[in-house]
Amino acid sequence: MTSEAIIYARVSSLKQVKEGNGLSSQIAICKEHCKTNGLKPVKEFQDDTTGGNADRKGLNELKQWLAKNKSKRVVFVFDALSRVARDVRVYHEIKDAAKKNGACFSCPTFRFDDSPEGEFAENIQISVDQFQRQQNARQTKDRTKGRLLNGYWCMKAPFGYRSDGKGKVIVPHETFAPIAKAALEGYASGHFQTHREVRNFIEQHPEFRANRKTARLGNNFVKDMLKRSIYAGYFEYAPWDVPMTKGKHEPLISIGTHKKIQDRLSQRVTAPFRKDIALDFPLRGFIVCADCGSPLTGYWATNRKKVKYPYYECHKKGCESSRKAIPRDKLELEFVELLGQLQPSADIVAAARAILKDMWKQREAHLLDRRKVLKAYMQKIEAEIEGFLDRIVETRNPSIVSAYEKRISNLQREMMVFEEEQSNLGKKQPDFEELFEHTINILSSPCEIWKNKGFRWKRLVLKTVFSERVPYCRNQGLRTAKTTFPFKALSRFFGEDGVLVPPHGLEPRTY
Protein backbone atom coordinates (compact mmCIF):
# COMPACT_ATOMS: atom_id res chain seq x y z
CA MET A 1 0.00 0.00 0.00
CA THR A 2 1.35 3.41 -1.02
CA SER A 3 1.90 5.79 1.91
CA GLU A 4 0.59 9.34 1.73
CA ALA A 5 2.99 12.27 2.01
CA ILE A 6 2.76 16.00 2.59
CA ILE A 7 5.37 18.37 1.13
CA TYR A 8 6.72 21.46 2.88
CA ALA A 9 8.81 24.17 1.16
CA ARG A 10 10.20 27.39 2.59
CA VAL A 11 12.22 30.38 1.43
CA SER A 12 13.48 33.21 3.65
CA SER A 13 11.63 36.16 2.12
CA LEU A 14 8.87 37.24 -0.24
CA LYS A 15 11.55 38.68 -2.53
CA GLN A 16 12.87 35.14 -3.14
CA VAL A 17 9.36 34.08 -4.11
CA LYS A 18 9.03 36.86 -6.69
CA GLU A 19 12.54 36.81 -8.12
CA GLY A 20 13.62 33.19 -7.77
CA ASN A 21 12.29 29.69 -8.19
CA GLY A 22 13.19 28.35 -4.72
CA LEU A 23 9.72 27.12 -3.78
CA SER A 24 8.96 25.47 -7.11
CA SER A 25 12.36 23.74 -7.27
CA GLN A 26 12.01 22.46 -3.68
CA ILE A 27 8.56 21.05 -4.44
CA ALA A 28 9.84 19.40 -7.63
CA ILE A 29 12.72 17.73 -5.73
CA CYS A 30 10.31 16.54 -3.01
CA LYS A 31 7.91 15.09 -5.59
CA GLU A 32 10.76 13.22 -7.25
CA HIS A 33 11.80 11.90 -3.81
CA CYS A 34 8.20 10.72 -3.19
CA LYS A 35 8.13 8.95 -6.55
CA THR A 36 11.43 7.19 -5.86
CA ASN A 37 10.29 6.00 -2.41
CA GLY A 38 6.73 5.02 -3.33
CA LEU A 39 5.03 7.94 -1.60
CA LYS A 40 1.87 9.68 -2.77
CA PRO A 41 1.88 13.50 -2.29
CA VAL A 42 -1.57 14.64 -1.08
CA LYS A 43 -0.91 18.17 0.19
CA GLU A 44 1.63 20.99 -0.20
CA PHE A 45 2.48 23.77 2.27
CA GLN A 46 4.68 26.82 1.70
CA ASP A 47 6.23 29.69 3.67
CA ASP A 48 8.25 32.79 2.79
CA THR A 49 9.75 33.70 6.16
CA THR A 50 12.78 33.01 8.34
CA GLY A 51 13.54 29.52 9.59
CA GLY A 52 14.35 30.84 13.06
CA ASN A 53 10.67 31.33 13.89
CA ALA A 54 8.09 28.59 14.56
CA ASP A 55 5.08 30.86 14.02
CA ARG A 56 4.60 30.59 10.25
CA LYS A 57 1.35 30.57 8.31
CA GLY A 58 2.15 27.55 6.13
CA LEU A 59 3.67 25.57 9.01
CA ASN A 60 0.67 26.29 11.25
CA GLU A 61 -1.68 25.09 8.51
CA LEU A 62 0.48 21.96 8.15
CA LYS A 63 0.22 21.22 11.90
CA GLN A 64 -3.56 21.67 11.81
CA TRP A 65 -3.81 19.31 8.84
CA LEU A 66 -1.72 16.69 10.65
CA ALA A 67 -3.94 16.93 13.74
CA LYS A 68 -7.06 16.33 11.61
CA ASN A 69 -5.43 13.43 9.71
CA LYS A 70 -3.62 11.82 12.62
CA SER A 71 -4.78 8.31 11.74
CA LYS A 72 -3.24 8.35 8.24
CA ARG A 73 0.36 8.14 9.48
CA VAL A 74 1.64 10.39 6.68
CA VAL A 75 5.25 11.18 5.75
CA PHE A 76 6.48 14.77 6.21
CA VAL A 77 8.73 15.46 3.16
CA PHE A 78 11.05 18.48 2.72
CA ASP A 79 14.10 19.33 0.62
CA ALA A 80 16.60 19.86 3.49
CA LEU A 81 16.61 20.13 7.28
CA SER A 82 17.20 23.86 7.00
CA ARG A 83 13.84 24.21 5.19
CA VAL A 84 12.03 22.97 8.30
CA ALA A 85 13.98 25.23 10.67
CA ARG A 86 17.33 26.92 11.13
CA ASP A 87 17.11 26.85 14.90
CA VAL A 88 17.73 23.81 17.12
CA ARG A 89 14.86 24.49 19.53
CA VAL A 90 12.34 25.32 16.77
CA TYR A 91 13.35 22.25 14.75
CA HIS A 92 12.75 19.83 17.63
CA GLU A 93 9.45 21.52 18.51
CA ILE A 94 8.25 20.89 14.94
CA LYS A 95 9.57 17.32 14.91
CA ASP A 96 7.91 16.51 18.25
CA ALA A 97 4.58 17.95 16.98
CA ALA A 98 4.84 15.80 13.85
CA LYS A 99 5.56 12.63 15.86
CA LYS A 100 2.67 13.40 18.21
CA ASN A 101 0.33 13.31 15.19
CA GLY A 102 1.81 10.10 13.77
CA ALA A 103 3.99 11.64 11.05
CA CYS A 104 7.63 10.87 10.29
CA PHE A 105 10.31 12.96 8.54
CA SER A 106 11.78 12.15 5.14
CA CYS A 107 14.34 14.16 3.19
CA PRO A 108 16.30 13.53 -0.07
CA THR A 109 19.43 15.21 1.37
CA PHE A 110 19.53 13.59 4.80
CA ARG A 111 19.07 10.03 6.04
CA PHE A 112 17.14 9.80 9.32
CA ASP A 113 18.24 7.19 11.83
CA ASP A 114 16.84 6.60 15.33
CA SER A 115 20.23 5.41 16.59
CA PRO A 116 22.37 7.64 18.89
CA GLU A 117 24.74 8.21 15.97
CA GLY A 118 21.84 9.25 13.71
CA GLU A 119 20.42 11.69 16.26
CA PHE A 120 23.90 13.11 16.82
CA ALA A 121 24.36 13.72 13.08
CA GLU A 122 20.88 15.29 12.90
CA ASN A 123 21.64 17.65 15.79
CA ILE A 124 24.99 18.58 14.28
CA GLN A 125 23.34 19.47 10.97
CA ILE A 126 20.66 21.62 12.64
CA SER A 127 23.32 23.34 14.77
CA VAL A 128 25.30 24.13 11.63
CA ASP A 129 22.15 25.56 9.97
CA GLN A 130 21.45 27.69 13.05
CA PHE A 131 25.05 28.96 13.09
CA GLN A 132 24.82 29.89 9.41
CA ARG A 133 21.53 31.74 9.98
CA GLN A 134 22.95 33.70 12.91
CA GLN A 135 26.15 34.44 11.03
CA ASN A 136 24.22 35.63 7.95
CA ALA A 137 22.02 37.80 10.16
CA ARG A 138 25.08 39.35 11.81
CA GLN A 139 26.76 40.02 8.48
CA THR A 140 23.58 41.56 7.08
CA LYS A 141 23.20 43.74 10.15
CA ASP A 142 26.85 44.83 10.01
CA ARG A 143 26.59 45.75 6.32
CA THR A 144 23.33 47.60 6.84
CA LYS A 145 24.67 49.44 9.89
CA GLY A 146 27.74 50.41 7.88
CA ARG A 147 25.57 51.92 5.16
CA LEU A 148 23.55 53.80 7.78
CA LEU A 149 26.73 55.22 9.32
CA ASN A 150 27.80 56.33 5.83
CA GLY A 151 24.59 58.31 5.43
CA TYR A 152 22.50 55.90 3.34
CA TRP A 153 19.02 55.15 4.69
CA CYS A 154 18.48 51.52 3.68
CA MET A 155 15.34 50.73 5.68
CA LYS A 156 11.81 51.23 4.38
CA ALA A 157 11.45 54.66 2.81
CA PRO A 158 9.28 56.98 4.94
CA PHE A 159 6.19 58.71 3.58
CA GLY A 160 7.28 61.36 1.08
CA TYR A 161 10.29 59.36 -0.14
CA ARG A 162 10.90 56.38 -2.40
CA SER A 163 13.86 54.24 -3.37
CA ASP A 164 15.89 55.51 -6.30
CA GLY A 165 15.46 52.09 -7.93
CA LYS A 166 19.13 51.27 -7.54
CA GLY A 167 19.14 50.63 -3.79
CA LYS A 168 21.58 53.46 -3.15
CA VAL A 169 19.68 56.42 -1.72
CA ILE A 170 16.09 57.47 -1.07
CA VAL A 171 14.72 60.35 -3.17
CA PRO A 172 11.66 62.61 -2.74
CA HIS A 173 8.49 61.00 -4.05
CA GLU A 174 7.09 62.97 -6.97
CA THR A 175 3.53 62.96 -5.56
CA PHE A 176 3.83 62.55 -1.80
CA ALA A 177 6.93 64.69 -1.04
CA PRO A 178 5.10 68.05 -1.47
CA ILE A 179 2.28 66.78 0.77
CA ALA A 180 4.71 65.65 3.50
CA LYS A 181 6.61 68.95 3.27
CA ALA A 182 3.44 71.03 3.59
CA ALA A 183 2.23 68.94 6.54
CA LEU A 184 5.53 69.23 8.44
CA GLU A 185 5.97 72.95 7.80
CA GLY A 186 2.32 73.57 8.63
CA TYR A 187 2.71 71.95 12.05
CA ALA A 188 5.99 73.75 12.73
CA SER A 189 4.46 77.14 11.95
CA GLY A 190 1.31 76.48 13.98
CA HIS A 191 -0.98 76.41 10.94
CA PHE A 192 -1.90 72.89 12.08
CA GLN A 193 -2.48 72.88 15.81
CA THR A 194 -3.02 69.15 16.39
CA HIS A 195 -2.04 65.77 15.00
CA ARG A 196 -5.60 65.31 13.82
CA GLU A 197 -5.39 68.42 11.65
CA VAL A 198 -2.17 67.16 10.05
CA ARG A 199 -3.79 63.78 9.46
CA ASN A 200 -6.91 65.36 7.92
CA PHE A 201 -4.77 67.54 5.66
CA ILE A 202 -2.91 64.51 4.29
CA GLU A 203 -5.95 62.24 3.99
CA GLN A 204 -8.07 64.90 2.26
CA HIS A 205 -5.36 66.00 -0.16
CA PRO A 206 -6.56 65.17 -3.72
CA GLU A 207 -3.17 63.79 -4.83
CA PHE A 208 -2.98 61.56 -1.75
CA ARG A 209 -6.47 60.16 -2.27
CA ALA A 210 -5.81 59.55 -5.95
CA ASN A 211 -2.51 57.71 -5.51
CA ARG A 212 -3.00 55.67 -2.33
CA LYS A 213 -4.78 52.34 -2.17
CA THR A 214 -5.98 53.20 1.35
CA ALA A 215 -6.92 56.80 2.07
CA ARG A 216 -6.92 56.27 5.85
CA LEU A 217 -3.75 56.59 7.91
CA GLY A 218 -2.81 54.64 11.02
CA ASN A 219 -3.31 56.10 14.50
CA ASN A 220 0.42 56.70 15.09
CA PHE A 221 1.29 57.77 11.53
CA VAL A 222 1.41 61.52 12.18
CA LYS A 223 3.10 61.16 15.59
CA ASP A 224 5.92 59.07 14.09
CA MET A 225 6.20 61.34 11.06
CA LEU A 226 6.62 64.50 13.16
CA LYS A 227 9.35 62.94 15.29
CA ARG A 228 11.54 61.76 12.41
CA SER A 229 14.64 63.78 11.64
CA ILE A 230 15.03 62.01 8.29
CA TYR A 231 12.85 64.71 6.70
CA ALA A 232 15.49 67.29 7.69
CA GLY A 233 18.33 65.31 6.11
CA TYR A 234 19.45 63.44 9.25
CA PHE A 235 18.55 60.12 10.84
CA GLU A 236 19.37 57.85 13.75
CA TYR A 237 18.59 54.20 14.46
CA ALA A 238 18.52 53.43 18.18
CA PRO A 239 18.09 49.61 17.91
CA TRP A 240 21.55 49.39 16.32
CA ASP A 241 23.13 52.32 18.20
CA VAL A 242 23.40 54.43 15.05
CA PRO A 243 23.84 58.03 16.29
CA MET A 244 22.45 61.13 14.59
CA THR A 245 23.93 60.95 11.08
CA LYS A 246 23.76 63.33 8.13
CA GLY A 247 22.07 61.50 5.28
CA LYS A 248 22.97 61.50 1.61
CA HIS A 249 19.32 62.06 0.66
CA GLU A 250 17.66 65.38 -0.14
CA PRO A 251 15.85 66.88 2.88
CA LEU A 252 12.24 68.05 2.61
CA ILE A 253 12.49 70.57 5.47
CA SER A 254 15.27 72.44 7.25
CA ILE A 255 16.79 71.25 10.52
CA GLY A 256 15.45 74.48 12.04
CA THR A 257 11.91 73.52 11.05
CA HIS A 258 12.45 70.06 12.52
CA LYS A 259 13.59 71.64 15.79
CA LYS A 260 10.44 73.78 15.92
CA ILE A 261 8.37 70.62 15.49
CA GLN A 262 10.21 68.89 18.36
CA ASP A 263 9.77 71.97 20.55
CA ARG A 264 6.03 71.90 19.90
CA LEU A 265 5.85 68.16 20.60
CA SER A 266 7.77 68.49 23.88
CA GLN A 267 5.53 71.15 25.38
CA ARG A 268 1.89 71.98 25.53
CA VAL A 269 1.35 74.61 22.87
CA THR A 270 -1.10 77.34 23.81
CA ALA A 271 -3.13 78.21 20.76
CA PRO A 272 -6.48 79.86 20.12
CA PHE A 273 -7.95 76.65 18.67
CA ARG A 274 -9.26 73.32 19.87
CA LYS A 275 -8.72 70.01 18.18
CA ASP A 276 -12.47 69.38 17.90
CA ILE A 277 -13.31 72.47 15.84
CA ALA A 278 -16.20 71.74 13.48
CA LEU A 279 -16.59 73.24 10.02
CA ASP A 280 -20.00 74.56 11.04
CA PHE A 281 -18.52 76.56 13.94
CA PRO A 282 -15.27 78.29 12.87
CA LEU A 283 -15.13 80.26 16.15
CA ARG A 284 -15.61 77.21 18.36
CA GLY A 285 -12.72 77.04 20.84
CA PHE A 286 -11.50 80.53 19.86
CA ILE A 287 -14.15 82.65 21.56
CA VAL A 288 -14.10 82.25 25.36
CA CYS A 289 -16.70 82.97 28.01
CA ALA A 290 -16.10 86.38 29.63
CA ASP A 291 -17.37 85.06 32.99
CA CYS A 292 -15.13 82.00 33.42
CA GLY A 293 -12.61 82.07 30.54
CA SER A 294 -13.65 78.67 29.17
CA PRO A 295 -13.78 78.24 25.36
CA LEU A 296 -17.30 78.29 23.92
CA THR A 297 -18.46 75.14 22.21
CA GLY A 298 -20.92 74.88 19.32
CA TYR A 299 -23.88 72.63 18.68
CA TRP A 300 -27.03 72.19 16.61
CA ALA A 301 -30.37 72.31 18.47
CA THR A 302 -33.48 70.68 16.99
CA ASN A 303 -37.02 71.88 17.73
CA ARG A 304 -40.22 69.85 17.65
CA LYS A 305 -40.58 70.40 13.92
CA LYS A 306 -37.12 68.86 13.36
CA VAL A 307 -35.68 72.23 12.33
CA LYS A 308 -32.03 72.69 13.38
CA TYR A 309 -30.58 75.91 14.80
CA PRO A 310 -26.86 76.57 15.48
CA TYR A 311 -25.71 77.91 18.87
CA TYR A 312 -22.57 78.63 20.84
CA GLU A 313 -22.53 78.22 24.63
CA CYS A 314 -20.31 77.80 27.71
CA HIS A 315 -20.23 74.32 29.24
CA LYS A 316 -18.28 75.17 32.42
CA LYS A 317 -20.12 73.94 35.51
CA GLY A 318 -20.76 76.65 38.05
CA CYS A 319 -20.35 79.46 35.52
CA GLU A 320 -23.07 82.13 35.48
CA SER A 321 -23.37 81.76 31.70
CA SER A 322 -23.22 77.94 31.64
CA ARG A 323 -25.68 76.31 29.23
CA LYS A 324 -27.07 79.67 28.09
CA ALA A 325 -27.26 79.53 24.31
CA ILE A 326 -25.86 82.25 22.04
CA PRO A 327 -27.19 82.21 18.46
CA ARG A 328 -24.35 81.45 16.07
CA ASP A 329 -25.41 84.13 13.58
CA LYS A 330 -25.48 86.79 16.30
CA LEU A 331 -21.98 86.02 17.60
CA GLU A 332 -20.40 85.58 14.18
CA LEU A 333 -21.98 88.83 12.88
CA GLU A 334 -20.39 90.71 15.78
CA PHE A 335 -17.10 89.02 14.98
CA VAL A 336 -17.31 90.17 11.35
CA GLU A 337 -17.89 93.73 12.63
CA LEU A 338 -14.76 93.35 14.77
CA LEU A 339 -12.72 92.27 11.76
CA GLY A 340 -14.17 95.21 9.81
CA GLN A 341 -12.79 97.60 12.42
CA LEU A 342 -9.42 95.88 12.25
CA GLN A 343 -9.21 96.16 8.48
CA PRO A 344 -6.81 99.04 7.64
CA SER A 345 -7.19 101.29 4.61
CA ALA A 346 -5.29 100.72 1.37
CA ASP A 347 -2.99 103.68 2.07
CA ILE A 348 -1.98 102.25 5.46
CA VAL A 349 -1.28 98.84 3.94
CA ALA A 350 0.82 100.44 1.20
CA ALA A 351 2.81 102.38 3.79
CA ALA A 352 3.33 99.25 5.89
CA ARG A 353 4.46 97.31 2.83
CA ALA A 354 6.98 100.04 1.97
CA ILE A 355 8.39 100.04 5.49
CA LEU A 356 8.72 96.27 5.54
CA LYS A 357 10.40 96.31 2.15
CA ASP A 358 12.91 98.92 3.30
CA MET A 359 13.68 96.81 6.39
CA TRP A 360 14.09 93.79 4.15
CA LYS A 361 16.70 95.57 2.07
CA GLN A 362 18.67 96.45 5.21
CA ARG A 363 18.74 92.82 6.31
CA GLU A 364 21.86 92.08 4.27
CA ALA A 365 23.86 94.43 6.50
CA HIS A 366 23.09 92.29 9.53
CA LEU A 367 24.12 88.98 7.96
CA LEU A 368 27.82 89.47 8.64
CA ASP A 369 27.18 90.11 12.34
CA ARG A 370 24.99 87.05 12.50
CA ARG A 371 27.73 84.90 10.98
CA LYS A 372 30.12 86.04 13.72
CA VAL A 373 27.56 85.24 16.42
CA LEU A 374 26.93 81.79 14.96
CA LYS A 375 30.65 81.07 14.83
CA ALA A 376 30.98 81.97 18.52
CA TYR A 377 27.99 79.78 19.45
CA MET A 378 29.42 76.81 17.54
CA GLN A 379 32.82 77.17 19.18
CA LYS A 380 31.14 77.24 22.58
CA ILE A 381 29.14 74.09 21.81
CA GLU A 382 32.24 72.26 20.56
CA ALA A 383 34.00 73.12 23.83
CA GLU A 384 31.03 71.81 25.85
CA ILE A 385 30.97 68.56 23.87
CA GLU A 386 34.69 68.02 24.43
CA GLY A 387 34.20 68.70 28.14
CA PHE A 388 31.44 66.09 28.44
CA LEU A 389 33.52 63.55 26.49
CA ASP A 390 36.37 64.04 28.97
CA ARG A 391 33.94 63.48 31.85
CA ILE A 392 32.66 60.25 30.27
CA VAL A 393 36.20 58.89 30.12
CA GLU A 394 36.74 59.73 33.80
CA THR A 395 33.49 58.31 35.24
CA ARG A 396 32.34 54.69 35.63
CA ASN A 397 28.81 55.33 36.79
CA PRO A 398 26.46 54.10 33.99
CA SER A 399 23.66 56.53 34.90
CA ILE A 400 26.02 59.51 34.80
CA VAL A 401 27.50 58.32 31.48
CA SER A 402 23.97 58.05 30.06
CA ALA A 403 23.16 61.59 31.20
CA TYR A 404 26.37 62.92 29.60
CA GLU A 405 25.61 61.09 26.34
CA LYS A 406 22.09 62.55 26.27
CA ARG A 407 23.50 66.04 26.81
CA ILE A 408 26.05 65.53 24.03
CA SER A 409 23.26 64.39 21.69
CA ASN A 410 21.26 67.55 22.46
CA LEU A 411 24.32 69.74 21.88
CA GLN A 412 24.97 68.02 18.55
CA ARG A 413 21.40 68.78 17.50
CA GLU A 414 21.91 72.44 18.38
CA MET A 415 25.13 72.40 16.37
CA MET A 416 23.23 71.04 13.36
CA VAL A 417 20.76 73.93 13.58
CA PHE A 418 23.57 76.51 13.69
CA GLU A 419 25.46 74.80 10.87
CA GLU A 420 22.40 74.85 8.66
CA GLU A 421 21.69 78.51 9.46
CA GLN A 422 25.32 79.36 8.70
CA SER A 423 25.12 77.65 5.31
CA ASN A 424 21.81 79.40 4.53
CA LEU A 425 23.25 82.84 5.31
CA GLY A 426 25.40 82.60 2.23
CA LYS A 427 22.48 81.80 -0.06
CA LYS A 428 20.55 84.33 -2.11
CA GLN A 429 17.65 85.89 -0.22
CA PRO A 430 14.12 84.99 -1.40
CA ASP A 431 12.10 87.76 -3.00
CA PHE A 432 10.18 90.03 -0.67
CA GLU A 433 6.88 89.18 -2.34
CA GLU A 434 7.56 85.47 -2.01
CA LEU A 435 7.90 85.71 1.77
CA PHE A 436 5.49 88.44 2.82
CA GLU A 437 2.84 89.01 0.17
CA HIS A 438 0.64 86.16 1.43
CA THR A 439 0.70 87.44 5.02
CA ILE A 440 0.20 91.06 3.95
CA ASN A 441 -2.94 90.03 2.09
CA ILE A 442 -4.36 88.60 5.31
CA LEU A 443 -3.29 91.61 7.35
CA SER A 444 -4.76 94.07 4.83
CA SER A 445 -8.16 92.43 4.39
CA PRO A 446 -8.98 89.95 7.18
CA CYS A 447 -12.69 90.74 7.04
CA GLU A 448 -12.97 90.12 3.29
CA ILE A 449 -11.02 86.88 3.58
CA TRP A 450 -13.27 85.74 6.43
CA LYS A 451 -16.40 86.44 4.40
CA ASN A 452 -15.29 84.95 1.09
CA LYS A 453 -12.79 82.17 1.86
CA GLY A 454 -13.15 78.68 3.27
CA PHE A 455 -12.54 77.15 6.68
CA ARG A 456 -8.72 76.90 6.46
CA TRP A 457 -8.43 80.56 5.43
CA LYS A 458 -10.57 81.52 8.41
CA ARG A 459 -8.21 79.59 10.66
CA LEU A 460 -5.30 81.53 9.12
CA VAL A 461 -7.06 84.80 9.85
CA LEU A 462 -7.50 83.85 13.52
CA LYS A 463 -3.87 82.82 13.81
CA THR A 464 -2.49 85.87 11.97
CA VAL A 465 -4.68 88.58 13.50
CA PHE A 466 -5.17 87.57 17.15
CA SER A 467 -2.55 86.75 19.74
CA GLU A 468 -5.09 85.42 22.27
CA ARG A 469 -8.67 84.14 22.39
CA VAL A 470 -11.38 86.80 22.40
CA PRO A 471 -13.78 86.95 25.40
CA TYR A 472 -17.53 87.19 24.78
CA CYS A 473 -20.09 88.53 27.25
CA ARG A 474 -23.76 87.69 26.71
CA ASN A 475 -24.81 91.21 27.72
CA GLN A 476 -22.01 93.29 26.21
CA GLY A 477 -20.84 91.18 23.27
CA LEU A 478 -17.22 90.76 22.24
CA ARG A 479 -14.67 92.25 24.60
CA THR A 480 -11.30 93.86 23.79
CA ALA A 481 -9.24 91.72 21.41
CA LYS A 482 -5.48 91.35 21.70
CA THR A 483 -3.96 91.42 18.25
CA THR A 484 -0.62 90.17 16.96
CA PHE A 485 2.41 92.44 16.59
CA PRO A 486 1.80 93.31 12.89
CA PHE A 487 -1.64 94.66 13.75
CA LYS A 488 -0.28 96.58 16.72
CA ALA A 489 2.25 98.13 14.37
CA LEU A 490 -0.47 99.05 11.89
CA SER A 491 -2.60 100.53 14.68
CA ARG A 492 0.00 103.23 15.30
CA PHE A 493 -0.94 104.79 11.98
CA PHE A 494 -4.45 105.31 13.37
CA GLY A 495 -3.57 106.10 16.97
CA GLU A 496 -3.47 103.75 19.91
CA ASP A 497 -7.11 102.68 19.77
CA GLY A 498 -7.76 103.04 16.06
CA VAL A 499 -8.04 99.39 15.17
CA LEU A 500 -9.00 97.83 18.49
CA VAL A 501 -12.42 97.18 19.99
CA PRO A 502 -13.37 99.86 22.55
CA PRO A 503 -12.88 98.84 26.20
CA HIS A 504 -16.62 98.30 26.66
CA GLY A 505 -16.75 95.99 23.61
CA LEU A 506 -19.11 96.16 20.64
CA GLU A 507 -22.71 97.09 21.23
CA PRO A 508 -24.87 93.99 20.76
CA ARG A 509 -27.45 94.10 18.03
CA THR A 510 -31.14 94.06 18.82
CA TYR A 511 -32.90 90.88 17.79
Mind telling me the catalytic residues? 12
User: In 3-state terms, what secondary structure has residue 259?
Assistant: helix
DSSP code of 255?
H
Residue 137's identity, in one-letter code, is A
The answer to whether 88 and 130 have CB atoms below 8 angstroms apart is yes
CB atoms within 10 A of CB 114: 8
Residues 6+ apart with CB under 8 A from 212: none
The answer to whether 367 and 394 have CB atoms below 8 angstroms apart is no
Listed in order, strand segments (DSSP E) in 68-223 are: 75-78, 104-106, 161-163, 170-172
SS3 content of the chain, % helix, strand, coil (to 5): 55, 15, 30
Please report how the helices 88-100 and 116-149 are oriented relative to each other, as an axis angle in degrees rounded to 10: 130
What are the helix and strand counts (H, E) for the chain?
A: 18, 14
| Alpha carbon separation from 77 to 83, 105, 176, 223 (Å, rounded) | 10, 6, 48, 48
State which H helix or E strand residue 395 sits in.
none
Side-by-side strand order, sheet with 297-302: 297-302, 308-313, 326-327
State which H helix or E strand residue 9 sits in.
strand 3-11
Long-range contacts of the stretch 457-461 (C-beta < 8 A, 24+): 458/282, 459/191, 459/273, 459/277, 459/282, 460/191, 461/339
- How many whole angstroms separate alpha carbon 94 and alpha carbon 279? 58
State which H helix or E strand residue 400 sits in.
helix 398-425
In terms of Cα–Cα distance, which of 204, 246, 195, 256 is closest to 225?
A: 195
Residues 6+ apart with CB under 8 A from 195: 222, 223, 226
User: In 3-state terms, what secondary structure has residue 272?
Assistant: coil
